[in-house]
């Protein structure tokens, strides 16, 4: 066996993996699907959402598969009772605080893990007004799961524009421009990469949003033109 290869078992299967490979990568090579929310192949994994946790050797804490490296001779279980219970609770807490109506993959995860949408009926919800401050896209942070993908593609992972950041702390943490300035005053170049990686409906092209609102062609055109105040007034 090459020196840079290790062996382990994942869900009872013998697996060879390159040293440094994550459990998520090794499992995917075996056709084992581990659910992810904050992970995206185009962004640096940060282990934020914890929906990908797996059991490694029955250890004290579950490991996030998207960032945890495979350990030689370890025994990984990706959907034992402990893992599923943890995953289910995470999904139930997320559902209790964020609107997930436009996040079909997360809704599917809830069904797959028997998550109860009513588990935490009195949880404090993430309240936020729709932000419509530019001609290109709208932001609805009531649907934001704080995966950080948009912040990362806007920064070192792709665009190097740094228009987005995280503001506040704890429950009030929210994606925002620096100092919460309007998007057209920020360094944003409206490349759309943030929309492309968002796993929910939190970020949406203005045209798509306008069509959902039932706006006609003239109103859509007026809404999506920059600086045409007269057009916007007419809309
Ligand atoms: S706006 Fe979308 S991509 Fe950005 S942190 Fe929220 S859910 Fe993730
Ligand atoms: S996908 Fe691994 S922590 Fe979010």
pLDDT of residue 1: 67
With a 6 A CB cut-off, is 164 part of the ligand 1 pocket?
Answer: no
Determine the atom of ligand 1 nearest the C-alpha atom of 151: 4
Q: Whose CA is nearest to atom 8 of ligand 1?
A: 147
Contact 90, 51 (CB under 8 A): yes
CA distances from 111 to 48, 84, 107, 140, 144 (A): 21, 12, 6, 24, 20
Q: Which fold has domain 1-125?
A: Ubiquitin-like (UB roll) (3.10.20)
Tokens of 145: 């799961």
User: Which residues of the chain form CATH 3.30.70.20?
Assistant: 137-234
Q: Whose CA is nearest to atom 6 of ligand 1?
A: 144
Could you tell me where the beta strands, DSSP code E, fall in the chain?
5-10, 13-18, 53-56, 63-64, 75-77, 137-139, 164-167, 174-177, 203-205
Give the residue from 158, 162, 189 showing the smallest Cα distance to 177.
162
pLDDT in tens, 50-73: 999 999 999 999 999 999 999 999
- Residues 107-120 have a mean pLDDT of 97
User: Which residues of the chain form CATH 3.10.20.740?
Assistant: 1-125
How big is the chain by its Cα radius of gyration, in Å?
21
pLDDT in tens, 192-235: 999 999 999 999 999 999 999 999 989 888 888 765 444 444 44
Q: Whose CA is nearest to atom 2 of ligand 1?
A: 198
With a 6 A CB cut-off, is 44 part of the ligand 2 pocket?
Answer: no
Q: Where are the alpha helices (DSSP H) in 98-228?
A: 104-112, 149-154, 193-197, 206-212, 217-223
Determine the atom of ligand 1 nearest the C-alpha atom of 164: 4
Q: Whose CA is nearest to atom 3 of ligand 2?
A: 47
| pLDDT, averaged across the chain | 93
pLDDT of residue 81: 97
DSSP 78: S
With a 6 A CB cut-off, is 54 part of the ligand 2 pocket?
Answer: no
pTM of the model: 0.91
Produce one character per residue of 47-70: b if its CB has 16 or more CB atoms within 10 Å, e if not.
ebbbbbbbbbeeeeebbbbbbbeb
pLDDT of residue 52: 98
| Residue 5: φ, ψ to 5° | -115, 140
Determine the atom of ligand 2 nearest the C-alpha atom of 147: 4
Q: Just give the CATH number of 137-234.
A: 3.30.70.20
């Amino acid at each position: 066996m090459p020196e840079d290869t290790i062996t382990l078992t994942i869900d009872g299967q013998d697996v060879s993996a390159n040293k440094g490979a994550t459990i998520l990568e090794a499992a995917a090579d075996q056709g084992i699907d581990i659910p992810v929310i904050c992970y995206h192949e185009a962004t640096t994994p940060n282990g934020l959402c914890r929906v990908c946790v797996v059991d490694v050797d029955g250890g004290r804490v579950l490991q996030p598969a998207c960032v945890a490296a495979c350990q030689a001779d370890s025994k990984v279980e990706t959907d034992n009772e402990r893992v599923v219970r943890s995953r289910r609770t995470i999904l139930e807490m997320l559902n209790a605080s964020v609107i997930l109506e436009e996040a079909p993959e997360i809704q599917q995860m809830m069904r797959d893990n028997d998550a109860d949408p009513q588990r935490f009926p009195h949880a404090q919800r993430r309240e936020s007004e729709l932000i419509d401050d530019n001609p290109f896209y709208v932001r609805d942070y009531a649907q934001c799961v704080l995966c950080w993908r948009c912040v990362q593609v806007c920064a070192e992972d792709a665009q190097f524009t740094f228009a987005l950041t995280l503001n506040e702390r704890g429950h009030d943490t929210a994606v925002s421009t620096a100092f919460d300035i309007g998007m057209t005053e920020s360094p944003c170049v409206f490349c759309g990469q943030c929309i492309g990686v968002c796993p929910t409906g939190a970020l949406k092209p203005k045209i798509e949003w306008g069509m959902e609102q039932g706006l006609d062609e003239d109103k859509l055109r007026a809404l999506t033109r920059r600086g045409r105040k007269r057009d916007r007034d007419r809309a």
